[in-house]
Amino acid sequence: MKELSLRFKIIVSTIIQLIRSGYEKFFNYSILYTYDSVSQNSFQVLKITKYDNIFCGYYDVSPFNPFDSDLIALHATNLSAYAKNSILTSVDILVYRLSSQEVINVDHSSAWNWQQGSRLQWVDQKSLIYNVIHEGYVRAKKTCITNGSSEIFPIPISILNGVDGFASIDYFAMTEGSEYGYPGIKCESFNSRVQYYRFSDQTITTFFDWRELSPKLLIAGATKEHINHILFAPNGKYFVYIHRFWVNKRRFDSLIGFDIDKKTLEPIITNQTVSHYCWKDDSTLFAWLIINGNPGYYYIDILTKEYTLVYAEDDGHPNWLFGDVYITDRYVGSRFGGNLLQAEIVNLSTKKNFPLVKLSHPAILDYSHRCDMHISISNNKSRFQLDSRHLHNKRTVIVGCLPDLCRNTSLYHL
């Protein structure tokens, strides 16, 4: 009976995928437009003939090698862009050289999703770190791209703290409550401790148990509780994360800060909407929030816990560039068969934006299959990268060169 039920689900899923594929081709939603600010000679839509889909992942980590922006780390798969991820499927981990189109096959991972990939990050010039399924559990793995040597760590990775180490997160709770998890992981994977692995002495430190704070944040009837999006300040001494839950299908978020030296955990914003953020400097977080019904980008002073609305603009995935200037993506409209997205640079002082790329993504994607741009930049701020779904039934990566922002800001009419 179970076998028949599984076969029925597979048949239905196949039919739905065929309908979606036909819909995309029939309505020809594809748009890709680059503005004059992006050099056509340096603009690339990456294609690797062996794979149907390639993507980088979340905007909070850069896929560019920190010492060589000609190298970019990618996820690749031949799964349908509509396929649901699980630990029964895998993505290949690749390094791609932009100038020569050389592909280095590094590894593969079953701990992945369409939004954040495997949390693939550069540890140094020659090594990548990412999550894998090891003996049934989510674990971080570091691999050298030159000789293939690797190391499995005893905890998973959420994000690196420079070259010092990395923080973990509760992937079981996140899998239960969002599309950022790894469906199929063992229920024994439950671990509500936020931990830190230090490379130098190979030690694991438990920072705190996030569920100890949660009773002070929850509203009666809360469901699907989890935390997400740990982000270290540039000096590595402080980080923030989101505590999220739902009540009657309404989402509530709290922004929580942790001081590593003082070992203090404290709410900064409670039970509002906390979306995407980046650091402006060591003490200022730049975040898209909805506070008491007022949406937009806010400055948050982590020392005073005060927040100020600085730009009432739509949500995006920001990365800070310099001064009062950041780069982001956002939805800018729709057309029949697709959503329009734009990558742009924004000056907060003048409230002017400078568009880079506009493209369309199919509107019929399941929410967990959506393809946000998740724009990020290279360490030297010479290149930007974004994930794209403008090609029929395929995910790809777009890379472009930025003008010299630091010396020629007039290019942005700033």
Q: Nearest CA to 387 among 130, 82, 144, 63? A: 63
Place of tokens 């996140």: 174
β-pair type (264-281, 376-377): unpaired
DSSP 8-class letter at 182 = -
Per-residue pLDDT for 407 more than 60? Answer: no
User: How high is the pLDDT of residue 2?
Assistant: 42
19-77 residue pLDDT tens: 666 665 555 455 666 665 555 556 889 999 999 999 999 999 999 999 999 999 999 99
User: Which residue has better confidence, 54 or 404?
Assistant: 54
More confident residue, 38 or 411: 38
Tell whether the model's pLDDT for residue 133 goes beyond 90. Answer: yes
3-class secondary structure, 1? coil
Could you tell me whether strands 64-65 and 137-144 are parallel, antiparallel, or unpaired per DSSP bridges?
A: unpaired
Q: Which residues pair with residue 266 across a beta bridge? A: 257
How far apart (Å, rounded) are the C-alpha atoms in residues 334 and 311?
Answer: 23
The answer to whether residue 405 scores a pLDDT higher than 80 is no
**What is the distance, to the nearest Å, from the Cα of residue 71 to the centroid of all Cα atoms in its chain?**
19
Q: Which of 60-69, 143-152, 321-330, 403-412 has the lowest mean pLDDT?
A: 403-412
For the cut 80, the answer to whether the pLDDT of residue 404 exceeds it is no
pLDDT of residue 406: 47
> What pLDDT does residue 84 have?
85
Q: pLDDT tens-digit profile of 373-389?
A: 999 999 999 999 999 98
18: Cβ–Cβ under 8 A, 6 or more apart, which residues?
Answer: none
Phi and psi torsions of 189, nearest 5°: -75, -5
**How much is the average pLDDT of 326-338?**
82
Strands (E), 16-85: 32-34, 44-45, 53-55, 64-65, 68-77
Ranking 56-65, 342-351, 362-371 by mean pLDDT, the lowest is 362-371
Residue 334 — very low, low, confident or very high, per pLDDT cuts 50/70/90? confident
> Using CA atoms, how far apart are residues 386 and 55, in angstroms rounded to an integer?
8
Question: What is the C-alpha to C-alpha distance for residues 234 and 281, in angstroms, rounded to an integer?
Answer: 7
Q: What per-residue confidence (pLDDT) applies to 238? A: 98
Question: What is the mean pLDDT of the segment spanning 170-190?
Answer: 86
Encoded tokens for 263:
């070992």
The rounded radius of gyration (Å) of the Cα atoms in the chain is: 21
Question: If we measure between CA atoms, which residue out of 374, 334, 332, 368 comes closest to residue 353?
Answer: 332
Q: How many CB atoms lie within 10 A of CB 330?
A: 21
Tokens of 363: 């509107």
E strands along 248-312, which residues?
250-259, 264-281, 284-291, 294-301, 306-311
Residue 80 contacts residue 393 (beta carbons within 8 Å):
yes
Q: What is the pLDDT of residue 107?
A: 98
* Per-chain mean pLDDT for the chain: 89
Model pLDDT, residue 98: 95
Quick check: 360 pLDDT over 90? no
CA atoms within 13 A on the CB side of 44: 18
Q: What is the pLDDT of residue 337?
A: 61
186 band by pLDDT with thresholds 50, 70 and 90: confident
> 60-74, 173-187, 231-245: lowest mean pLDDT where?
173-187
CA distances from 66 to 55, 69, 130, 216 (A): 18, 7, 16, 40
Domain spans of the chain, in order of start: 1-59+324-414
| This model's pTM is above 0.75 | yes
Closest CA to 70 of 49, 46, 52: 46
